[in-house]
Structure 1
Amino acid sequence: MKNFSIGEMSKLNNISIQTLRYYDKIGLLKPKLINKTSKYRYYSIEEFLKVDMIKYYKNVGLSLEEIKNLISSNTSIEEKLQIINIQQEALENKLKDMNLMKNNLDILKNKVSSIIECKINKIFIKYNEEREYISYDYISNTNAELEINYRKVILDIEKYVGMLGYELSSIVSYDKTKEKMVYKNIMINTSENILKHNGQVIVLPKGEYITVYFEGGCFANKNYYKKVTEYINKNNIKVNGHFHEIYIIPQVNEDGKENTLMQLEILKS
């Protein structure tokens, strides 16, 4: 029976020589024989079928280690079905994560496009539809308190949802006389019902919001609260409720200090 060189094996099966050598190294696809003098690898027709099996199982997402175990053992039909079910579940979870990432990218893209259009550091009026948030009642008077509470919320989200991909924000009380800010809670805009056990649902009503986009950090952004307050007073605008601060993209400046892209808004009466 004819044996095939590694080059022939590569061409006939559309698989690179480098890949064939790697498969040999990990014991996934061994050549039928290796010339002791030249060290050339030679494959038989039987190895062609193994290549087909490797390609087939790779196409359904199995790892090389899983494929190696399948090829080297006589698995029953029931065991093959179990492997298929496990792989299908894993792929469905990956698809769920990928769809979540795509949705987050779409939201982020729209948000950043809006910032470019409206310009940063410029106050404007923005209409928002009704928005639902899950609120964690952590009160923070200092940046350190806020960071710790922030981590608590993130840990809770990742525990139940698996990945952080939601808009985080806070309701902030601002005392213009003392120029003092108190972060009354931390919120996430998600429809994941599983998270509602730890937080209460807060609905921000539809309406016009005095809005500004800016770069900065929590508790270091008093100028923007002051700026919006002055805008409200200057234009004799009545507002309802506290400020809503939204974290869009976390970032730092050249000095390593927080320079997060943020949104500040407050509802007009």
Structure 2
Amino acid sequence: MLKIGDFSKLSRISIRMLRHYDEIGLLVPERIDEFTGYRYYSEEQLLVANRINSLKDMGFSLSVISEILKTYNDSQALKEYLLLKQAELKELAEKTSRQLQILETTINRIGKEDNVMKYSVVLKEMPQRYVASLRKTIPSYDKEGMLWEQMMKEIASQKVQYANPCNSIAIFHDKEFKEHDPDVEIQISVQGSYQNTENVEFKNVPSELVASATFKGSYDQLIEVNQAVANWIRDNNYDFNGAMFIIYHVSPAQTQNPDELVTEVCFPVKKINSKKS
């Protein structure tokens, strides 16, 4: 039998932690002297201590380690635990790698561009949504309001219930800026079931990965915001993967003051495979 001090030295676990393990039932002493309260451990418990240390080094929490030890001799059960942790750590490593790359590219652009941190770009997953959609060619971009007026008029009789959040979106399907006759689709998130009208289609939109930047104020900033997002996509090894769209969080329909507008510019993206074949 080993006193707690000796067991601590051999197992490389502090006395304080051994007492904690005892309290939570993870590693209970073989015997506790009823008169002195001294804890004694068997030499065989060094194997358990080594397993605990090994599993901690892999990143398992004490509560999970406790579960693993119950089936440690079941090789299949142990393998499943390890595979789950491996997948978790790989995902974390990929996330950390992306964060480091974003930090590096942002640091490198500071001093070279004025809008590096003015417009913060984020990578996010746009969830699947059910929308009312209207797509048409309009005379010019500033005539987009025509589409919203037409949509509201055509769906009014169905008493459409809007989703929460109720994203109002404009999608620009042309591959380049057009001075005349741009192809524009508007969408508004809804809930329920409705009939298509002459120009409005109710449809599901799949989730998609986007790089986005949100800004407050007039639409005069759009060119600068687009540049900031495009630079981020280029610098962080992504590529464009669909039509650019805008989410109107606070739109002209809600305020006449351009300084109060809140707009999010989104570019669907995909990761570029940097591995050489």
More helix as a share of residues: 1
TM-score (norm 1): 0.47
TM-score (norm 2): 0.46
